[in-house]
Amino acid sequence: MKDKLYSNLKSDIPASVVVFFVALPLCLGIALASGAPLFAGLIAGIVGGVVVGGLSKSKIGVSGPAAGLAAIVLSAIATLGSYENFLVAVVLGGIIQIILGLLKAGVIGYYFPSSVIKGMLTGIGIIIILKQIPHFFGYDADPDGDFAFFQVDGETTFSALVNTVKFIQPGSALIGIIGLAILIFWDKVLSKKGKVFQIIQGPLVAVAVGIVFYMITKSNDALMITSSHLVNVPIPEDVSTFLGQFSFPNFGVITNPDVWIVAFTIALVASLETLLCVEATDKLDPHKNVTPTNRELFAQGTGNVISGMIGGLPITQVIVRSSANIQSGGQSKMSPIIHGFLLLISVIVIPKLLNMIPLSVLAAILLVVGYKLAKPALFKQMYASGWKQFLPFITTVLGIVFIDLLYGIGLGLMNGVMVILYKSYQNSHFLHKEGEDVDDGRIKMTLAEEVTFFNKGAILNELNNLSEDSYLELDVRKTRYLDNDIIEILEDFAIKAHERNITIKLISERGVVENPSSYIEFFKLRPVSA
């Protein structure tokens, strides 16, 4: 296992640097939006990277403080009277998550339809773009990490965009544009010119140029960037000052019913966000690895217990950081772990250097991340998939953009359930597996007359349990309705099947195909529907 972790360092280290630059302003911004000490966000980012990254079996997921919990944290601190009282709820919430993992509640993650997951990714991509445009031009009234439509500064997402025109800072805007140009040129041109440009990532160069720009324009009245438009990491004067930034829970309030209400709220919301993110990152993963959801709940719970004990915010797996990790070529859990150590080392050793980074440069990095999550082609693809896929997708996108993450996902799930109820007149949902011959490795699986996203968990489990060098006969002759989610599972599994030397023979009423090049194209040309 150690060899596998360290064998990908040439990819994981550059990816971890990119994730570090994405995570740094978000950790600080989410803490500010939550009404918590800034250092609390950094603690959560460090614990999310080092502890959760080490315990999780997700290869590419990155954990840290979540924007979706900011409003809950802000309200809870006021309700419980102090941040130290709130930390008790964080610790208890972590314990509840550990119990949920032991009770195997992670299976819930398999029941989110892929149209909602894609809508979540797209919605987050759009909201990242909309929220970062003001920072890109130097309008930093709203903290990074506030992804809600109604912002903590009293504005909305769109009113902030309008007001950006009135508050453009020339220096921030200029270095933001330069940074974005570097990122695009690095990604589209230089990364294809040699390995050195793949090892040294564009975001690192953009940040370095941003620091140099700040230093040479400090005395220029027109282009200077003031401290309010730079990263703001707390700078300890000595060891005792640094240690004084840690807060500890006041367990004297553990019998307060409000503490337990907040603890259960944190546990449920954090678990839901984590499971959604797990589904999304597995969808983005080019190797199509499947993350064990129960183990993930255990890892997240442990992380929250430790974060709460030393003064950190609640932790979840986070799609913004995870997608940045994937886009930057992260291959194993070493990338999230290294990013956690980078946060720790940087806030101790180089906080003054970090505070020279213009927020507009970091906004440029996030704009690229957002665009890659919300490419226009995806809207066309989802529309072409039919209304049963497009309706939950677009509802999720609009809900995230105009309300917030959890409301958007909730609306998307409601639409997904409506689609399933519409199909409920058909036969029962089940996966039938016929006899397995252990001698020749031949296995025959017959799908039911109707297979929907409710069957994802069972089908994933069966496919992942296939041994290497197996021969799978997948019979869909009796299947009248095959959900798009199941087709995507088969499409994703084809990659793993190739790696494990598993032969798949697809049997349908239209013919027999061995190792189809694309299940999506096969069922598109030969639709299986009621």
| Tokens found for residue 383 | 């529309």
Give per-residue pLDDT as tens, 155-203: 999 999 999 999 999 999 999 999 999 999 998 888 788 777 777 888 9
Helices (H) and strands (E) in the chain, counts: 24, 9
Q: What pLDDT is attached to residue 526? A: 63
Tell me: pLDDT of 425 over 50.
no
Residue with tokens 């919300």, as numbered in its chain = 374
Q: What band does 525 get if pLDDT is binned at 50, 70 and 90?
A: low
- Supply φ then ψ for residue 133, to 5 degrees: -55, -45
Q: What is the pTM of this model?
A: 0.84
| Cβ atoms of 263 and 255 closer than 8 Å | no
In what helix (H) or strand (E) does residue 108 lie, and over which residues does it extend? Answer: none
Highest mean pLDDT among 16-20, 70-74, 498-502, 507-511: 16-20
* CATH code 3.30.750.24 region(s) in the chain: 431-525
In this prediction, residues 332-347 reach a mean pLDDT of 94
DSSP bridge partners of 474: 445, 506
In what helix (H) or strand (E) does residue 150 lie, and over which residues does it extend? Answer: none
d(CA 126, CA 397): 8
| Cβ atoms of 502 and 469 closer than 8 Å | yes
Tell me: pLDDT of 113 over 50.
yes
Q: What pLDDT is attached to residue 529? A: 60
pLDDT mean across residues, the chain: 88
How far is CA 286 from each of CA 151, 281, 283, 323, 325, rounded to the nearest angstrom?
Answer: 35, 10, 8, 11, 12
Give per-residue pLDDT as tens, 129-150: 999 999 999 999 998 888 889 9
DSSP assignment letter at 431 = E
How far is CA 253 from each of CA 85, 93, 257, 398, rounded to the nearest angstrom?
Answer: 7, 15, 9, 40
Tell me: pLDDT of 530 over 50.
no
Which residue type sits at 229?
H
Domain 431-525 in CATH 3.30.750.24? The answer is yes
Tell me: pLDDT of 455 over 80.
no
Q: What pLDDT is attached to residue 427? A: 43
In this prediction, residues 62-88 reach a mean pLDDT of 92
Give per-residue pLDDT as tens, 356-413: 999 999 999 999 999 999 989 999 999 988 888 899 999 999 999 999 888 898 999 8
Q: What band does 287 get if pLDDT is binned at 50, 70 and 90?
A: confident
Q: What pLDDT is attached to residue 10? A: 87
Give per-residue pLDDT as tens, 216-263: 999 898 999 999 999 999 888 777 888 888 999 999 999 999 999 999
Q: What pLDDT is attached to residue 259? A: 96
Tell me: pLDDT of 439 over 60.
no
Q: What pLDDT is attached to residue 423? A: 61
Tell me: pLDDT of 276 over 80.
yes
Residue with tokens 């990364």, as numbered in its chain = 191
Q: What pLDDT is attached to residue 135? A: 95
Q: What is the DSSP string of 274-304?
A: HHHHHHHHHHH-TT-----HHHHHHHHHHHH
Q: What band does 418 get if pLDDT is binned at 50, 70 and 90?
A: confident
Neighbours of 167 (CB within 10 A): 14
Q: What band does 485 get if pLDDT is binned at 50, 70 and 90?
A: confident
In what helix (H) or strand (E) does residue 436 lie, and over which residues does it extend? Answer: strand 431-437
Contacts 24+ apart (CB under 8 A), 417-426: 419/388, 419/391, 419/392, 420/452, 420/453, 420/454, 422/388, 423/450, 423/452, 423/481, 423/530, 426/450, 426/480, 426/481, 426/530
